[in-house]
């Protein structure tokens, strides 16, 4: 997992927690705790929590009257470390999170979830900003570093051929990799292009060229079957972002190939599924580690 992946996961968990209800707050809490427990953050977290005693903080907090300020440490590192320990404890015990929030962050609302929302807005949201800033200010040896083969995300560029899409996505998942199909990803209030840019952080892309549209020159007497325009756009995007070696063209049927792609090699999505082996070979060459035990 790369540094940007980790902070994105932390941020999304906090956003989900802010919008959660009593029936759904546990999942983002556990997601947040898991993200903060990522091995790449271990050295920084140990540094932040070294002088922090969570039990002592909770004991002192329990003696306060409702509404009194909590005994946060003045030292920024200790404060960040304390919030990390709190988040980890809440992930392990969501009931503790509910009680802690109700006692210290409830605004008088009768909603049980109000304390969680208060804690998220007042403590977790500023923490994400300050924690990211702190981590990025550390020497490179302490920052979470990307691993060349750590990403298991494969983005699928597709048109209207649902059968081809499902066949490809499910095969990728059988290999132990994560198939990214844009429409299946959460919107999170983003525009289409924002969502695309967010989810395009992948290690590999497979472009499905299927004959979904028709088109041709204005002077032509007839039109030809071709891939959708969004497919061609996304093909160019990934070729530029990942490089040719990490983008595979998978063709089904006889769509017209854009003139800029003449000479580019592509693989036929044949009914005998020989494309399975070609895809595995290309992904391995790109640095991914597909698990072939269930398909070979």
Residue 290 counted as domain residue? no
A 10 A CB-CB count for 265 gives 8
Q: Which residues contact 264 (CB under 8 A, 6 or more apart)?
A: 249
159 in Cβ contact with 208 (< 8 Å) = yes
Residue 147 counted as domain residue? no
Count of domains forming the chain: 2
Domain boundary at 84, 110, 142, which?
Answer: 142
A 10 A CB-CB count for 209 gives 30
Task: For residues 9 and 136, state if they share a domain.
Answer: yes
155: part of which helix (H) or strand (E)?
strand 153-157
Task: For residues 130 and 174, state if they share a domain.
Answer: no
The pTM of this model reads 0.51
Owning domain of residue 190: 153-285
Helix (H, G, I), strand (E, B) or coil at 242: helix
Task: For residues 277 and 159, state if they share a domain.
Answer: yes
Residue 163 counted as domain residue? yes
pLDDT per residue, tens digit, the chain (296 aa), is 446 678 888 999 999 999 999 889 999 999 999 999 988 888 899 999 999 999 999 999 887 666 678 899 999 999 999 999 999 999 999 999 999 998 888 776 667 899 999 999 999 999 999 999 999 888 865 656 544 434 789 999 998 889 989 999 999 999 999 999 998 998 888 888 888 888 888 899 999 988 865 555 545 555 566 577 788 888 888 888 888 788 998 888 776 666 555 445 678 887 778 899 999 999 998 888 898 887 66
How far apart (Å, rounded) are the C-alpha atoms in residues 35 and 259?
Answer: 45
């Amino acid at each position: 997992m790369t540094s940007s992946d980790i902070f994105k996961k932390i941020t999304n968990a906090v956003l989900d927690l802010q919008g959660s209800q009593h029936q759904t707050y546990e999942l983002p809490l556990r997601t947040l705790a898991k993200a903060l427990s990522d091995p790449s953050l271990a050295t920084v977290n140990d540094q932040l929590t070294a002088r922090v005693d969570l039990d002592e903080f909770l004991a002192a907090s329990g003696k306060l009257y409702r509404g009194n300020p909590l005994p946060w440490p003045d030292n920024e590192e200790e404060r960040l470390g304390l919030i990390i320990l709190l988040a980890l404890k809440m992930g392990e015990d969501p009931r503790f999170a509910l009680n802690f929030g109700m006692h210290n962050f409830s605004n008088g609302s009768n909603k049980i979830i109000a304390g969680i929302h208060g804690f998220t807005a007042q403590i977790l949201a500023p923490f994400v900003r300050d924690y990211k800033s702190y981590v990025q200010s550390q020497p490179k040896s302490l920052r979470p570093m990307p691993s060349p083969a750590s990403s298991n995300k494969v983005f699928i560029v597709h048109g209207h051929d649902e059968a081809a899409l499902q066949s490809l996505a499910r095969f990728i998942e059988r290999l132990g990799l994560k198939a990214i199909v844009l429409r299946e990803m959460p919107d999170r209030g983003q525009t289409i292009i924002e969502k695309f840019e967010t989810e395009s952080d992948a290690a590999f892309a497979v472009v499905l060229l299927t004959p979904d549209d028709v088109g041709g020159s204005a002077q032509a007497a007839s039109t030809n079957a071709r891939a959708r325009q969004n497919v061609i756009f996304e093909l160019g995007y990934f070729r530029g972002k990942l490089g040719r070696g990490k983008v595979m063209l998978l063709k089904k049927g006889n769509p017209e190939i854009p003139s800029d792609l003449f000479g580019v090699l592509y693989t036929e999505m044949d009914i005998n599924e020989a494309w399975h082996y070609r895809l595995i070979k290309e992904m391995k060459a790109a640095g991914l580690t597909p698990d072939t035990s269930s398909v070979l």
